[in-house]
Structure 1
Amino acid sequence: MGIVEAWVREKPIRTFLARLSQRRAEAAAAFLASPSGAAAVDGESGCDGSIPQLSSIANSVVSRCSRILDLATENLQQSFETDFPDSCKEHNTYARELVEYCCHKALHEVTTRPDYLTDKNLRHLMFDMMLAWESPGAQDGFLENDSTSCNSLETEDEDEGSIFYANSTRLAVQVDDKKIVRLSAFARIAPSCPIVADLVTVHNLFDALTCSSGGQLHFLVYDKYLKSLDRALRSVKGIMQSPLASSFQLDAGECILAMDGDRPIRPVLQHIGISAWPGRLILTTHALYFQSIRVGYGDKIVKYDLTTDSNQVIKRDLTGPMGVRLFDKAVMYKSSTLTEPIYFDFPELGGSSRRDYWLAITREVLQVNRFIRKFNLGDVQRAEALSKAILGILRYSAVKEAFHIAPSHFKTTLTFSLAEKLPKGDMVLEALYNNYFQLLDTSLSHLETESIVDKMPRTHSVPFSLYALSRMGFILLQRKDEIEKEISFCAVCFGVTKSLEAALEESFCYSERIESARATVDQVKVEGVDANIALMQELLFPFIQVGKLIYSLSQWEDPLKSLLFLAFMLYVIQRGIVGYIVPFVFLAFAVVMLWHKYIGDGKLLEVLEVKQPPSKNAVEQILTLQESISKLEDSLQTANIALLKFRAVLFASVPKATEMVAAALIAAAAILVFIPSRYLLVMLVVEVYTREMPLRKQSTEKFRRRIREWWARIPAAPVQMIRPNENKKKI
């Protein structure tokens, strides 16, 4: 009882009641923002607030949008019909166009707040907007009987207290199996908030969020993504506002995006040659900074500028102590301004996720700066491009931290890296520039801001990434007039995106074909030198057989067949048909392909059966490899000796051989000049083809023997190998 009395004295009952009333107020606000609350409000005010053409979930969303905009539902509908009269004529799309209009208009109003990602009611509203877009019409039966908000599935607002976030997201999928959003709705609504999604990468972002649910987005997954995105934003802002950021002399408009190596247990090592130093790695929108920590030398900051055109290359690589290539956890940076490559090592116990993350975001910064240089963007355009890259990196970080996945290749969520990797990605960048960044140069003096603002939220590709980041505290333009001009422009300008969407669709189509083709390539790869040789012999079997046949004819094993083949070749050369052989071969291949396409049975390509060579153990494979290397070394030695002997002949180290070779070259030059090429070809064919015939075989062997003996008498030019240090001493 004493403990209870002490608790009562320490925590008065009025404090408990105050907290209870505060929670009830928050619950009431959440109820009003939910579809059920909106339906209750509409029910109290009568049936006049609902639109007959819309479904219940669509009416709920439109009602909440009208409260956000401080407009009556009827006035909002009239505004839509006034701004877009053509959409009213299409009865099949009227409901969806109206819902999309209201959603974009409300989101444009709500997202002006810098902390809108922390508002759980807004997160519910955005998800309900997607649900309403998928089922906008009154005839749609989607969620009619279960139109309760996603609030009913909410557990704890904190991730640590939620069972859905503590384990895999599959549990959330099993619980929330009715309210799902598909790609089409996500692609239309999510890019309205530039922080949430981008038009170029929205498909890949949806694939990343739904990788465990089969292309169906559930609210708990979407909510977890938005919370992770908010944490990523706050983390970057914390780095920019930290005392450490002030030690770097950043350029105007330069923002810090990531930092690693600031903790002793997770260092970043910079390898230059055989030396390695721990330090701190910082990535900004302009450069990479490495602050080395050297005992007795103090902290030294080195800048690697990513904005210059200096043939910069960034890729994954191996590294290790004393230059030994052991661990695949490093990023290699090379440019024409450096004498040797720089390696940034990210040591960790399991996997290489740190290295992959830094490789991806550093490449994105490099690609956006290449885009800026390619199209020679101005100040506002450049800031907008950097803003899109920053938002892409934040989304990439949010997906990685929330779901522990890092999409790569064609599935990356980084805008400029994706355009670089996609087939015909250059067309995507050109369309992005023509329909997006060129609009920033449009004069605004003749535009009516008041009248066009109402029409703006119809599209989801408004260039306001810079505007969104400026609201979040990121300053990429130092001049306030330029920032205000950008905000005004974003409020009035909406560009045509048909060409950009067409370029993206074509590029994605090609990427799907490439992915399917790459899957077949991975299936047919075989291991082992013997197995690959056997496969190549089977693939080249017809050509090998033709070569064997021609060789047997050149050996005059059957004199009659060899004589007939020689007569045929001479006739082809004499009639001038040699120039048509290559076109005839191409035509034959084309005829075979077209025959298989149009006249063939249409069956799939049959499986090529290859006889597997006898298997070898590890020791036998090593011996085979050693033997192959020895043969390659012998071939290189023979080629070098031939070149050295030719060098000796060229500089007259052997006078008689030099005179003989010079006379032969003069005679060959005269023959090539005065004798027509047709007769030269006839002479060459007759000489090569008749070497092994019975009448010439003995003389041919005697001639070869004399040539070998003459070649053996020629000495090789002297060679001396010099060590690098000896060379430096001589200089």
Structure 2
Amino acid sequence: MEEGGDGGGGVKVGMLEGFMRTHQSSLKSLFQRKKSPSGRDGDCSPSAVASPKPIPQLSPLANSVVSRCSKILRAPTEDLQHRFDVELPESVKQLLTYARNFLEFCSFQALHQVMKQPDYLSDQEFRQLTFDMMLAWETPSVTSEQENKDVESPKQEVEDEDGWSLFYSSSTNMAVQVDDKKSVGQEAFARIAPVCPAIADAITVHNLFDALTSSSGHRLHFLIYDKYIRTLDKIIKAAKCSLGPSVACLQLAKGEIVLDIDGANPVLPVLKHVGISAWPGKLTLTDCALYFESLGGSEKAIRYDLSEDTKQVIKPELTGPLGARIFDKAIMYKSILVSEPVYFEFPEFKGNARRDYWLGICLEVLRVQQFIRKHNFKGVQRSEILARAILGIFRYRAIRDAFQVFSSQYKTLLIFNLAESLPGGDVVLEALSSRVARISSDALSDAGSVQYIKWPSKLSPVSLIMLEHFGLSLQTGTNMEEETVIVGDFCVGETSPLEIALKQSILNTNRAEAAQATVEQVKVEGIDTNVAVMKELLFPFVRLGWCIQRLASWENPYKSTVFMLLVSYMIISGWIRFILPSILVIMAITMLWRKQFNKGKEPKAVRVTAPPSKNAVEQILTLQEAISQVEALIQAGNIILLKIRAILLALLPQATDTTAMLMVIIAGMMAFVPLKYLTLMVFVESFTREVGWRKESSDRALRRLREWWFRVPAAPVQLVRSDDNKKKKS
């Protein structure tokens, strides 16, 4: 239907108003506002109900998203564009970024409006809208749409049972729905998804994207995204239901939220080990403690507080029957409040994924509590930090339950665990603490639209507000009114300090992973092969030592004399102290020269002649021989130390007298003779031992020294065997 003149427009507006009044009771979309008691928002204005006018700078999909945002915000697209042009600074209205920044402006406001509803994750239209926002962010303008060869094809409008859709209804047929072939990239997901704290967090959003796209070529499809949101919604609702009778016996504190429960099934219980005793039971994790309940027992649940500073340690551990260390399926808890470490075993048929999951979430709670104590957060700030960690655990559970994806060290979805392992993670936590420090309880009431333009002085506890909307309350008295505007982490066209710190940390992580990949590539098997590689790497130093040894052997008297005179002159003149700095400067110049002239070239591989291959038995014999050699070296070192102890304790009086006299002579020389002359004496004496006229006397002196050393007895050693039988607990 084409638009006519002013009269036609008025008829069209009137028809739409009548349609709205007729179908008002059937508008069941989650995002349709109900009429307030004052009557302010009960009916849409004609301009808000009329078909949104396309914006020429935007692509068809971006126009579709903006039109849906205008319906959520109850404002026509012309008004939104006017506000964007008037209120935002010129830096975000440049020609190249105008379309994308305007799309962010509309999307951020619409999402914050939608998040006031308690059950928006269950709405299919919300999931479709957020996915379309990401797609539109990638191709926001007409030029970007033309450059992208995948031109969206319009689909039929999605309607509810009453024939009306808030997001897709448009008389201009402008709405574009994504087909199965459309997918979203990481940058768009990282920019849009964290605006809703329940879906993603700015710190872990890149890892979340990697988990969602692990099997789809690093592109996110709607079916995967939709499944993730639906699973997340189920987990949040289950957490709300878990606050009922199932945990009544735990006697939770006010505001304590259950994060997960394991072991309720008698077939796969959690085994608690203390000493050699074990009990099957159920393990419950809340935001501040671990609870263990024995199955079939009438004892009160044992509480292990994670919020207090009691030198607590949680780490993976081996367990087994009767205290044997066999199965790698347990976590160990230790603190100054428990007399003996407690082990929680998570039996499963293969692997240790169940244990790794519980290890991750327990460490996350422990670390978030440590973070709170470190920065002394109280009240709403403390609750915001806890809410952020809780939502992270829910997202971790959703990925685990929906896709069976388990994260690695640098790819975890848990915020504080990631910061612990991430290069520069402490900088990320500092940026997070600065963000939380700007949160105050009165930020809920004085926030306006300014948060889309510049960073406000006060921010809202967005994660805490999300939990309260879902019915999970951490703190009383933080009720958000219907008209409250959420002041989030994102501003249009700008990068937050948290994002800046995270990008630098991710860059360092990529470098660390690339470096680790090269380490894995150069690892070789076999002792003899590793020895061959080490010999090749140490060859320059070995060759230098060999050259010095040849000079000291006086095979070529002319070269040896020149070397001795040169070094002696350097010692006397004091130049010897410049040798090490000169070597360092020469090495630095060489490295910079290689950097300049070898730029872009592949590094030369170290060529190592591999030793003959050996079978398994020969490898074992080689290993046994190497161990025997190491043992012999350790024994020789112990004998030297014991003989020195014997001399110090005067077990052989003659050796003690000789050593004491020699030490007095050396002390006197060091006190009265300049150091350079002492150095010269030591160098000349050691360098001229192989000279013909000194060789016989030097050999005789070394022989007498060895004979004297052999006559020195070793100090006695008494081995005391410890009692390996531990006290058994009943």
**TM-score between the two structures when normalised by the length of structure 2:** 0.82
The whole-number CA distance in structure 2 between the counterparts of 1:32 and 1:728 is 65
Q: Percent identity?
A: 48
**Match of 1:241, as an amino acid?**
G
Find the counterpart in structure 1 of residue 265 from structure 2.
263
**Match of 1:388, as an amino acid?**
R
The whole-number CA distance in structure 2 between the counterparts of 1:31 and 1:333 is 45
Cα distance, 1:602–1:568 mapped onto 2, change above 3 Å: farther
> What secondary structure does 1:108 align onto?
helix
Q: Which moved more, 1:606-615 or 1:699-708?
A: 699-708
- Please state if 1:105 is matched with 2:112: no
- Please state if 1:656 is matched with 2:658: no
**TM-score between the two structures when normalised by the length of structure 1:** 0.82
1:679-698 → structure 2 map (5 Å cutoff): 679-698=677-696
The whole-number CA distance in structure 2 between the counterparts of 1:31 and 1:429 is 36
Q: Which one of 232, 235, 250 corresponds to residue 235 of structure 2?
A: 232
**Match of 1:453, as an amino acid?**
G
Contact 1:317 1:331 in 2 (8 A): yes
Q: Which moved more, 1:679-688 or 1:272-281?
A: 272-281
Aligned residue pairs: how many? Answer: 666
The whole-number CA distance in structure 1 between the counterparts of 2:56 and 2:723 is 89
> How far off is 1:526 after superposition?
0.9
Find the counterpart in structure 1 of residue 379 from structure 2.
379
Structure 2 residue runs without a partner (length 5+): 1-22, 33-45, 160-177
> How far off is 1:405 after superposition?
0.9
> What secondary structure does 1:283 align onto?
strand
Find the counterpart in structure 1 of residue 448 from structure 2.
453
CA deviations on 1:192-244 (whole Å, 9 max, x unpaired) are 2110111122222122212222232211111011011112212322333243x
1:409-558 → structure 2 map (5 Å cutoff): 409-434=409-434, 436-441=435-440, 449=446, 452-456=447-451, 463-477=461-475, 479-480=476-477, 482-483=478-479, 490=486, 498-558=496-556
1:493-642 → structure 2 map (5 Å cutoff): 498-600=496-598, 603-642=601-640
> What secondary structure does 1:147 align onto?
coil
Cα distance, 1:492–1:661 mapped onto 2, change above 3 Å: closer
Cα distance, 1:530–1:341 mapped onto 2, change above 3 Å: farther
Q: Which moved more, 1:689-698 or 1:509-518?
A: 689-698
The whole-number CA distance in structure 2 between the counterparts of 1:150 and 1:517 is 50
Contact 2:48 2:71 in 1 (8 A): no
> How far off is 1:340 after superposition?
5.5
Q: Which one of 109, 127, 130 corresponds to residue 126 of structure 1?
A: 130
Find the counterpart in structure 1 of residue 252 from structure 2.
250
Find the counterpart in structure 2 of residue 402 from structure 1.
402
> How far off is 1:74 after superposition?
3.9
Contact 2:88 2:453 in 1 (8 A): no
> How far off is 1:419 after superposition?
2.1
Contact 1:117 1:123 in 2 (8 A): yes
**Match of 1:126, as an amino acid?**
T
> How far off is 1:84 after superposition?
3.0
Structure 1 residue runs without a partner (length 5+): 1-23, 34-41, 153-174
Q: Which one of 258, 280, 283 corresponds to residue 282 of structure 2?
A: 280
> What secondary structure does 1:724 align onto?
coil
The whole-number CA distance in structure 2 between the counterparts of 1:441 and 1:330 is 41
Cα distance, 1:420–1:457 mapped onto 2, change above 3 Å: same
**Match of 2:436, as an amino acid?**
F
- Please state if 1:215 is matched with 2:254: no
The whole-number CA distance in structure 2 between the counterparts of 1:554 and 1:266 is 73
CA deviations on 1:137-173 (whole Å, 9 max, x unpaired) are 3553577661226969xxxxxxxxxxxxxxxxxxxxx
**Match of 1:148, as an amino acid?**
K
**Match of 1:183, as an amino acid?**
Q
Contact 2:282 2:293 in 1 (8 A): yes
Q: Kindly indicate which of the two structures has a greater share of residues assigned to helix.
A: 1
Contact 2:329 2:355 in 1 (8 A): yes
The whole-number CA distance in structure 2 between the counterparts of 1:634 and 1:183 is 57
Contact 1:57 1:147 in 2 (8 A): no
Contact 1:190 1:196 in 2 (8 A): yes
> What secondary structure does 1:343 align onto?
strand
Q: Which one of 664, 667, 684 corresponds to residue 665 of structure 2?
A: 667
Contact 1:467 1:486 in 2 (8 A): no
Q: Which one of 161, 186, 190 corresponds to residue 193 of structure 2?
A: 190
**Match of 2:398, as an amino acid?**
A
> How far off is 1:417 after superposition?
1.9
Contact 1:105 1:458 in 2 (8 A): no
- Please state if 1:179 is matched with 2:182: yes
> What secondary structure does 2:543 align onto?
helix
> What secondary structure does 2:426 align onto?
helix
